[in-house]
Amino acid sequence: MQSRSIRDHVRPTDGDYPGGIYRVVGTGDAVTLLRVGDADGRRVNTGEIVTVEDSDLEAFEPAENPDGNRPLGATVASSLEMVYWRLRAFGQQLVAHPIPATLVAALVAVGYVGDSIGPLTESVASVVLLVGAVGLAFVGGGYLDR
């Protein structure tokens, strides 16, 4: 019998367990498996967890990660959708914290144009721009809510 490590993928070889691909999410006296693929090897999000005793692990064989076989179109569409949701969440955080968002946006603006229209040197304007950008990421990333 071969032991399994966290993040290994396996599939049952007998009918005692529902068909599909499982990711090892816990090890110890028993192995905890999360079903992440259907019987055809396509990615699914079931939340189904199975606990298997080490002695019963022989009923499973190694399997491929179902995330590795997504069609290119589905991968691109999913990535674009995630960009939309990330930008939306970022904007919602800025709206939820208007005063800090305004302050860091002002720093970004001053740093961006400060050396060309104001008394700031190029190096000072760069530092102000960097501080503003980091502050914008901090506010938009939701770190003020933590």
Q: 118 exposed, middle or buried (CB, 10 Å; 0-12, 13-18, 19+)? A: exposed
Split at pLDDT 50, 70, 90, the class of 141 is: very high
Q: In what order do the strands lie in the sheet with 49-53?
A: 49-53, 30-37, 21-26, 9-12, 60-62
Tell me: do 39 and 84 sit in the same domain: no
Instruction: Provide the domain count of the chain.
Output: 2
pLDDT of 4 strictly over 80? no
Residues 60 and 76 placed together within one structural domain of the fold: no
Q: What is the pLDDT of residues 105-140, one digit of tens each?
A: 999 999 999 878 777 888 999 999 999 999 999 999
Find out whether 54 and 3 touch, Cβ atoms under 8 Å: yes
- Pair (62, 80) in one structural domain: no
Domain coverage including residue 88 = 72-145
Six token digits for residue 72:
């290119």
Q: Is residue 117 part of a domain?
A: yes
Domain-embedded: residue 2? no
Does 99 share its domain with 81?
Answer: yes
DSSP-derived 3-state class of residue 18 = coil
- The SS3 of residue 37 is strand
* CB-count burial class (<10 Å; 0-12, 13-18, 19+) for 129: buried
Judge if 46 and 90 occupy the same domain.
Answer: no
Q: Are residues 54 and 90 in the same domain?
A: no
**Structure-token pair, residue 33:** 């498996």
3 occurs within a structural domain: no
Q: Is the same domain home to 32 and 78?
A: no
Question: Same domain, yes or no, for 45 and 98?
Answer: no
Say whether both 112 and 81 belong to one domain: yes
Flag whether 17 is in a domain: yes
Last residue of a domain, one of 49, 68, 87: 68
pLDDT digits (tens, 9 = 90+) for 54-72: 778 888 898 888 877 667 7
- Locus of tokens 């992440």: 36
